[in-house]
A and B are shown apart, each in its own frame.
Chain A
């Protein structure tokens, strides 16, 4: 279980989180939605201790993240996969080495045969061809980098997965593959996930519950149905803006198709 209680965070004069509380139950997928710049990534980084809150408590798996010693924190982190917004691949290593570094169990990590198999397996799960393994990150497209980042995060078979906009910048087919992967990891392995997104439709598909981060606070939490049925002005405004965005996108796709033919 992941529990954030009354989290406050500011950078100099910029108050980002002002009393955020959130709970992610074991085995569920929670989508954290919100306009860009609202603090979704900051919230996610609190969960595995990459950022420390100014005030408030973060508890993961019964452990107070801020109070852990270095070794304990590493141990906890090896059970939490983190998918970075822009991939954050190690660019002096090949894709295979990147994914291998995601294998956090040291005995498995030093077993070459196991690692080779696991790398191939993870590439397959994110719909990448096996020959990508020998490439360097600079040779990949943005969407491919992102999928390698996901492969690296799942390589260590984590119990928790934190995804920072896993499908933004992907084409619809691969966005579907990733959404499907999130669902399968939950259903088959019972992984607990937090999916940060500003894409309403994708996250409504994968999420058991949805939370809306709005003006430094959690404005609404509930099942996708509850959120869609909400009468809250902020929720409506957010959903409406997203609807407009997808209409504009659909329109421009249609235009491209028209011009192309």
Chain B
């Protein structure tokens, strides 16, 4: 009797918890959609966001270039070494050229760049907007009849859409270059073999695919942190929470988008 009552209570508690969680998620989804529509509407106000977009883009772009190139270079080197390790004696060497170029362009370039920028851009945007929210700067902007969407959010999102694909292309190039050098040094592959392998499997679609991925990742590392930062509550602690949540949410979205896009574009 007692146990049954307890079980009923637990089920009820669980149900309430699930209910609350569902409500909260629905609330987020609603507000996110609303914000997104607001951004699309704000696109007409280019006079306001364009200058600020370039300002943001230079800040975010140059600031991230070094770390993106560094990580891409290491990724290229490791891919190259692993290819050598797996191929010894079984496959013709020129395959290494194919593996390195394809894995860099299709996967490592966009995804690693996306993940780094989820940290760099995501944390920055969420913390900036969160601080502006809790110090009432966003309210102040609204009180002057100005729109936070066109003054604060659009410049940040558009800057990301400009910068992330460019950085991804740099990362692809860097990874390929370092991979090639490493392959020459450690596998003794000739330039001719490497380019033959890289060309043999390469389709122009691959670069488009890399670019498409990077645009979606750019969206993820900008829109999500902007949403989270914009809705920050409760002071300094809230800003900290917004920054960490933004990085995690942006990173997870990149991994999810990666699977979905790969399935849609390359899946059989």
Contacts and interface: CB of A to CB of B under 8 A. Distances in A.
Interface of A: 45, 48, 50, 73-78, 80-82, 84-86, 88-91, 101-102, 104, 149, 152, 156
Contacts of B145: 73-78, 104
Contacts of A156: 144
B147 A48 contact: no
Contact of A77 (B135, B136, B137, B143): B143
B144 A77 contact: yes
B144 A102 contact: yes
18 contacts: A50-B139, A73-B145, A74-B147, A75-B145, A78-B144, A78-B145, A80-B143, A84-B139, A84-B140, A85-B136, A88-B140, A90-B132, A90-B141, A91-B137, A101-B141, A104-B145, A104-B146, A152-B144
B4 to A, nearest CB: 33
A102 B146 CA distance: 9
B9 interface: no
Nearest to B147: A74
Contacts of B142: 50, 77
Contacts, number: 52
The list of the 4 closest CB pairs from A to B, nearest first, reads: A78-B145, A82-B143, A88-B136, A77-B145
Size category of the B interface is: 10 to 19
A75 B145 CA distance: 6
Given A74-B146, A89-B140, 6 more contacts: A50-B143, A78-B144, A80-B143, A90-B132, A90-B141, A102-B144
B114 to A, nearest CB: 26
A152 B143 CA distance: 11
Interface string B118-152: 00000000000000100111011111111100000
A45 to B, nearest CB: 7
A80 B145 CA distance: 9
Nearest to B152: A90
Contacts of B144: 77-78, 101-102, 104, 152, 156
Contacts of A45: 139
A89 B137 contact: yes
